């Protein structure tokens, strides 16, 4: 099965948020809770200036594709500045966080090797 989507095609989907991650909002693009897909899932997130996707880990590995802005990536205690165009590989159970210390909104896609985001258990 093959399909094409883009952010405009999910304009009606509400942004998800949680008090755990101040200034972070996200949508689901390829995700078995929304699409007839399996094996991989992809979401899109925005972190406003000052926002923080706090330190966490999960059993699936993860990839980030940064499309706008800058941020500080916490690589299990080692910090690295990231920017538009960067891609990030996060191994399974590796602690990571992403904070926007910049002036513009940080935008990125994340990919999990799972059917759906809702089955990823976040641990802290």
Binding site for Ni ion (CB under 5 A): 62
Please, which residue, 69 or 110, has the CB nearer to ligand 7BC?
110
Interface with ligand 7BC (CB under 6 A), residue from 42, 53, 66, 106? 53
DSSP 15-76: PB--TTSTTEEEEEEE-TTTSS--S-EEEEEEE-TT-EEEEEB-SS-EEEEEEESEEEEEET
Least distance to ligand 7BC, CB of residue 118, Å: 11
42 binds, among ligand 7BC, Ni ion, none (CB under 5 to 8 A by kind): none
Instruction: Report the C-alpha gap between 39 and 68 in whole angstroms.
Output: 27
What mask of x and - would describe binding to ligand 7BC in positions 93 to 122, judged by CB under 6 A? -----------------x------------
Q: Which stretch binds ligand 7BC (CB under 6 A): 3-11, 20-28, 31-39, 77-85?
A: 20-28
Least distance to ligand 7BC, CB of residue 53, Å: 6
Do the beta carbons of residue 96 and residue 57 sit within 8 Å? yes
Least distance to Ni ion, CB of residue 56, Å: 6
Instruction: Report the C-alpha gap between 47 and 104 in whole angstroms.
Output: 9
Do the beta carbons of residue 51 and residue 104 sit within 8 Å? no
């Amino acid at each position: 099965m093959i399909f094409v989507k883009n952010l405009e095609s999910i304009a009606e989907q509400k942004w998800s948020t949680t008090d755990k991650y101040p200034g972070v909002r996200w949508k689901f693009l390829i995700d078995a809770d929304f699409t007839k897909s399996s094996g991989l899932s992809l979401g899109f997130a925005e972190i406003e200036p000052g926002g923080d996707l706090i330190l966490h880990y999960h059993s699936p590995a993860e990839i980030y594709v940064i499309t706008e802005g800058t941020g500080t990536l916490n690589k299990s205690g080692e910090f690295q500045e990231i920017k538009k165009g960067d891609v990030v590989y996060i191994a399974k159970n590796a602690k990571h966080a992403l904070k926007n210390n910049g002036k513009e909104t940080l935008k990125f896609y994340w990919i999990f090797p799972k059917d759906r985001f809702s089955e990823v258990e976040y641990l802290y």
